[in-house]
Structure 1
């Protein structure tokens, strides 16, 4: 459990004034949402669309016993310690850095255009076979979420796994300099956020910011089949870079792979002669597993212990999860995130699954692709085979270009497009879906295909 005195916190963030009496007040948790605080909390009033300082009374009612403060002192509460700082967000980050140095766990940082959450979950599984582990929960992977994740770390933590997300250049650098990883993992370079970064080269530069805070003896783990990363990793010593991928030129590579509906089995050079089971579908998940196993090797964890944990790892929800659908169908929910590389990988794997019903794919818009939006949506046709997919339902403005390209291939009986109100699409799908059908649903989170999935789940269907 987190435990610091108010005085220690004030010193850590270089407060304008520090009271000796604060030595007697203990803080057990830190939060920025005044509605979700508990007893012995430090309140962090962040300033964005709303000014968190306005919610100090509610924070005190919910259990705050101290607060950061960057507004004029005459507006501050008088009944709890007020830690005055120039910037409450920077104070939060400074406190997280102080606490991280105090607990001093090994730090694993993970970023990538796709697969970082799955890799985080797999890495937690393999590392927990030997160490006490704390990891990022949900999507707490930005300049606010990452310090909160650190401050939620139990004091006996030996390894902390920090997911690092970004939209713009410079954001990963801030996170890496705060966390100072011992191990940095980049899962892949896709097209996510290309609208802001201009090109895959720009994305690679942004992801490589993870080595900004890498410790002097730290290790970078990257896909060996991505030249954009291999070239940029040359600034590190050769022994600091470990690669993973499907080819034997990598430090960790896969051999035979068999992917089924709910599991993937593969062999690797790290454990030749034995097969490793993942409780998720998708041959692309083998690379995520290799990245996780590579981190285990760096930490000196025996491969047999790591492999056992992979077989039962728990995947964060909405990442390639099977759900019971209406009319005895099975829904493959992958509607949390999407970019062209990831969408094509999921489609390829889905198309190869064996089932006695039909295969239906529901694809929504991919966002933040900028000037290349039409071109990248059009590229999805490479992964859609008329021989392997029975019905294609496209949703959103950007998917219209793919619909136009596929009309002569699939025809109006097998290809459908919807936009705007989702109710007509939901009604269409409820009428279309039959027993034993497999239904893949994938899109960017902002498209809100999750509402469609909820409508098609057996628990919500009429």
Structure 2
């Protein structure tokens, strides 16, 4: 476990210890009192609410010190306080200090889709030889990234950081904090197009991941023209000395030569070791691309393909990402309701329609968010990936899904099509009424749609 003295923290953040013992040891950090642990340093952030208002609660939970940027006279009495100008910057400065102290090899991962799965795969591959620490859950922004760094133990060899964004410039901040030596871009999709305006702008935002690199290695999908053109025209030359590509065709550094999609697994072979077979413990042909990028990372840090395959065959996927769940009435749920974009929704639909299931296939789709003026068209375009001859029931939820509902409603098909908005209880009631034993149900939506509430309601009831 990493730990720091108050004096060390004050020096690292250009702060001033107002109250407290210089040598008092802090064992962790937290900016949320709900997750704060005994002996943590509390970070009172000032965003929508003033975090200084929660210092009292942090003390009750066991915090041993706190940053402080409000007036010193309003600080709690007889409690260790480190006065800083900006608590968020101090948080990031402390993370930078810890990074410089541990000196891990940093691997940064971004992309419109697949970055969390790729992070999990890369961390698994790196673990074949190295003590590895990775981003937990979706802690991938300007707060989550320093939190991840500060939770890294001092003997960490490899640090795998997921880098997310919603606006231009955000990934550059993360890259310049983490200074990755290897960067992976999974793909360019439509996520956040509402804020960035075009896929080209999204590609530029994702390429910000190289801004904190020096003579680094960039791994990216070589069949994505928006990335390929920029890389080929020197867009990343100032920071990147080596590029590696993955994709489906033979011009890539790594590509699959055979893929077999199964219900809960994906089997593939690649050009680098055609005699070897890798069985991913997750469904979806698109996950092969994520695995290929992880293999390239492994090669860059000295891990053989055979070692990488063994790790990939046993890697653990972050919760709520293509998660198989036992459902009510002897049904099976495929939960992918943690995140969504048009491209990821199309990919999982195509996979689900092709797998063999014991009985009926039911698809439940919730809104894809953050599409702005493109939302109606992109929801309609989801119809391109839907084969109503391969789905028994299609259930749509949310205001944005009305566009897809109207697009499909006029088609003559045996597939039952329904649409719900607002309160989720009618949707839950409907699904409970139609589910039959051995049905397989796909649940896919953006997280903010709240589809996880529906997933929870359809889970098999556990008996204590």
Q: Which range, TM-score by smaller chain?
A: over 0.9
1:94 shift after superposition: 0.6
Which residue of structure 2 lines up, in the alignment, with residue 149 of structure 1?
148
Q: Give the TM-score taking structure 1 as reference length.
A: 0.96
Which residue of structure 1 lines up, in the alignment, with residue 347 of structure 2?
345
Cα deviation digits, residues 97-138 of structure 1 (max 9, x gap): 110011000001111111111001111111100100000111
Which residue of structure 2 lines up, in the alignment, with residue 444 of structure 1?
446
1:389 shift after superposition: 1.5
Larger displacement relative to structure 2 (181-190 or 419-428): 419-428
Q: Helix, strand or coil: the match of 2:255?
A: strand
Unpaired stretches in structure 1, ≥5 consecutive residues: none
Backbone CA RMSD of aligned residues = 1.7
Q: How does 1:86-97 map to 2 (within 5 A)?
A: 86-97=85-96
Cα deviation digits, residues 80-107 of structure 1 (max 9, x gap): 3321111000000010011001100000
1:411 shift after superposition: 4.7
Which residue of structure 1 lines up, in the alignment, with residue 201 of structure 2?
202
1:305 shift after superposition: 1.1
Q: How does 1:363-382 map to 2 (within 5 A)?
A: 363-382=365-384
The question of whether the paired residues in 1 share the 8 Å contact of 2:20 and 2:80 is answered with no
Matches of 1:229 and 1:95, distance apart in 2: 33
The question of whether the paired residues in 2 share the 8 Å contact of 1:7 and 1:19 is answered with no
Q: Helix, strand or coil: the match of 1:235?
A: coil
Q: How does 1:91-106 map to 2 (within 5 A)?
A: 91-106=90-105
The question of whether the paired residues in 1 share the 8 Å contact of 2:129 and 2:303 is answered with yes
Larger displacement relative to structure 2 (70-79 or 110-119): 70-79
Q: How does 1:130-209 map to 2 (within 5 A)?
A: 130-209=129-208
Moved over 6 A (4+): none
Cα deviation digits, residues 355-400 of structure 1 (max 9, x gap): 2311111111110000000000001000111221121111111111
* 1:415 and 2:417 aligned: yes
Matches of 1:249 and 1:127, distance apart in 2: 26
Matches of 2:19 and 2:368, distance apart in 1: 54
Larger displacement relative to structure 2 (139-148 or 419-428): 419-428
Which residue of structure 1 lines up, in the alignment, with residue 392 of structure 2?
390
Matches of 2:356 and 2:415, distance apart in 1: 23
Which residue of structure 1 lines up, in the alignment, with residue 264 of structure 2?
262
1:44 shift after superposition: 0.9
Instruction: Tell me: CA distance 1:344–1:410, structure 2 relative to 1, closer, same or farther (3 Å).
Output: farther
Which residue of structure 1 lines up, in the alignment, with residue 356 of structure 2?
354
1:271 shift after superposition: 1.8
Which residue of structure 2 lines up, in the alignment, with residue 107 of structure 1?
106
Matches of 1:157 and 1:199, distance apart in 2: 38
Which residue of structure 1 lines up, in the alignment, with residue 226 of structure 2?
228
Unpaired stretches in structure 2, ≥5 consecutive residues: none
Which residue of structure 2 lines up, in the alignment, with residue 246 of structure 1?
248
Which residue of structure 2 lines up, in the alignment, with residue 7 of structure 1?
7
Larger displacement relative to structure 2 (36-45 or 168-177): 36-45
Larger displacement relative to structure 2 (351-360 or 19-28): 19-28
Q: State which of 206, 209, 217 in structure 1 corresponds to 2:215.
A: 217
Q: Helix, strand or coil: the match of 2:223?
A: coil
Matches of 2:21 and 2:343, distance apart in 1: 53
Q: Give the TM-score taking structure 2 as reference length.
A: 0.96
Matches of 1:22 and 1:250, distance apart in 2: 57
Which residue of structure 1 lines up, in the alignment, with residue 430 of structure 2?
428
Instruction: Tell me: CA distance 1:123–1:398, structure 2 relative to 1, closer, same or farther (3 Å).
Output: same
Cα deviation digits, residues 182-212 of structure 1 (max 9, x gap): 1111111111111101111111111111111
Matches of 2:21 and 2:300, distance apart in 1: 42
1:42 shift after superposition: 1.3
Larger displacement relative to structure 2 (41-50 or 151-160): 41-50
Matches of 2:189 and 2:350, distance apart in 1: 16
